[in-house]
Amino acid sequence: MKVALDAMGGDNAPAVIIEGAAQALQSGVPIDRLFLVGHEDQIRALMEKFGIAHDPRVEVVHASQVVEMHESPADAIRRKKDASVSRAVDLVKRGEAQAIVTAGHTGAAVAATTLKLRTLPGVERPAIATVLPHPNGFFVLVDSGANIDCKPIQLLQFAIMGAVYANILFDVPDPRVGLLSIGEEVTKGNELTRNAHLLLKQSPLNFIGNVEGKRLFTEPVDVVVCDGFVGNVVLKTSESIAAFLFSWIKREIMSSWMARLGGLLAAPALHRIKKKSNYEEYGGAPLLGVNGICIIGHGASSPKAVRNAISLASTSIQKQMNQRIVDGVAKYGTRKVIE
């Protein structure tokens, strides 16, 4: 497995990124070649610090530019030819790497991979697939931010790609697919969701119908489909609520000695809940549908998150995720569907 890592992407790059790379290499993540892309002098100094300066699997690729968070993604990719995320994608385009991992500008990663790698056969647009928890495990939310405006046929393609990803992650042979809407009834929702519902119902997917927001984290479902605008709002709101609740619980536990005693007894359960809701466990979210594996990490990724994102990239290569997506789209014949 050959992975290109954007060493300059993320709030705390490059130190956290290189430390995460070191953890991946030292913990046995199956990697044949790891390209560290970014400012060479900074990268080599950090490689010495984290003990991978002489690892034969590591290759440094110098990139003199970085896409900043305030920049327009497409414009930055066109102007900054030597940006680290762009150079990392070039490695995949040339066949030197099979996957890219970045915790940098999400829009830049989407723009670079879409412009340079193009989409897989039969896929109109790529989609970000994020893993979220529910009481019985996890589910995949797709799209969680790549596309603001979508067509019904694209939501069907997102569902197919999400089902492939859920099968790889959860080992579920026939993933249950739901459509995020404002009501369970077929007539509920806007024109996009109503038409997408009809396409999903006609498809061979294991479609269970609409999923309301109030049941998003309790519904027995493996994949929830929506456009990227709604998905990103759901994702960011979920992160905010989780952070608020844990902060609130901590404050209440510290409010009295009785509460502290109760908190001590509840600590193991609270730790398990926090771990399950922590994005670090999967490390990143794949951009499904591009002609190459792309894992997008959280901007605030820790070394553990970077390690797990690299591991996810390796697993996606091993499990031939993109070929399975191509096969799934061809099998369900989405381009033949009349909207």
pLDDT tens string 24-72: 999 999 999 999 999 999 999 999 999 999 999 999 999 999 999 889 9
Task: Kindly give the residue spans of alpha helices, DSSP state H, lying in 69-178.
Answer: 73-79, 84-93, 106-117, 152-170
Residues 89 and 211 occupy one common structural domain: no
Give the span between the Cα atoms of 185 and 42, in whole angstroms: 56
φ, ψ of residue 6 in degrees (nearest 5): -75, 100
Full DSSP string of 62-94: E--B---TTS-HHHHHHH-TTBHHHHHHHHHHT
Q: What is the pLDDT of residue 336?
A: 47
Q: What digits encode the pLDDT tens for the residues 118-150?
A: 999 999 999 999 999 887 889 999 999 999 999
Q: Range of 88's domain?
A: 1-123+289-320
Spatial separation of the C-alpha atoms in residues 87 and 107, rounded to whole Å: 16
Q: What are phi and psi of 20, to 5 degrees?
A: -65, -40
Same domain as 239, residue 172 = yes
Supply the CATH number for residue 200's domain. Answer: 3.40.718.10
Q: What is the pLDDT of residue 226?
A: 98
Do residues 16 and 46 both lie within one domain? yes
C-alpha 334/C-alpha 87 separation (Å) is: 33
CA-wise closest residue to 142 among 117, 169, 115: 169
Q: Are 43 and 83 within one domain?
A: yes
- Evaluate whether residue 338 is within a structural domain: no
- Please state, in angstroms and rounded to a whole number, the distance separating the CA atoms of residues 271 and 274: 5
How many domains does one find in the chain? 2
For the chain, residues with pLDDT lower than 50 are: 335-339
Same-domain check for residues 161 and 247: yes
pLDDT at 141: 98
